[in-house]
Amino acid sequence: MTTVVTDNCQGCRFTDCVAVCPVECFHYDGEMLYIDPDVCIDCSACIPECPVQAIFEEDDLPDDKREWIEINATRSKGLPVCSEQMDPLPGAEERKSALGF
């Protein structure tokens, strides 16, 4: 079991999730965040914080998003840790509205 960030995070990167992560397991690139499954303790704190509902427990992932388990596991490894809240990416608010939130 792990917890994964999915495509809704792309292009918005609000980092509300990061502020409540007890173990600093989020990593980031210019597009979105990824969770390191070896560090995450599956506490679920981040899930309700995400304004675009990008984060899922592995068991709750819709079938068309299961590829994100692998993407989080591999991408997180080479990227810097995001330990504090950052500014959202430009256009984040527009993207949030476009996603219907």
Q: Which residues bind ligand SF4 (CB under 6 A)?
A: 3, 5, 9, 12-17, 20-23, 25, 32-33, 35, 40-46, 49-50, 52, 54-55
Identify which of residues 30 and 62 has a Cβ nearer to another protein in the complex. Answer: 62
Residue 58 Cβ vs ligand SF4, minimum distance, rounded to whole Å: 10
The angle subtended at Cα 26 by Cα 101 and Cα 82, nearest 5°, is 95
What is the rounded distance in angstroms from the CA atom of residue 73 to the CA atom of residue 4? 9
The angle subtended at Cα 43 by Cα 37 and Cα 47, nearest 5°, is 90
Identify which of residues 21 and 32 has a Cβ nearer to another protein in the complex. Answer: 21
What is the rounded distance in angstroms from the CA atom of residue 95 to the CA atom of residue 89? 10
What is the rounded distance in angstroms from the CA atom of residue 48 to the CA atom of residue 34? 16
Residue 11 Cβ vs another protein, minimum distance, rounded to whole Å: 19
* 42 binds another protein per the rule CB under 8 A: yes
Identify which of residues 10 and 53 has a Cβ nearer to another protein in the complex. Answer: 53
Residues in the chain: 101
Query: Where does this chain bind another protein (CB under 8 A)?
Result: 19-24, 41-48, 53, 57, 59-60, 84, 100-101
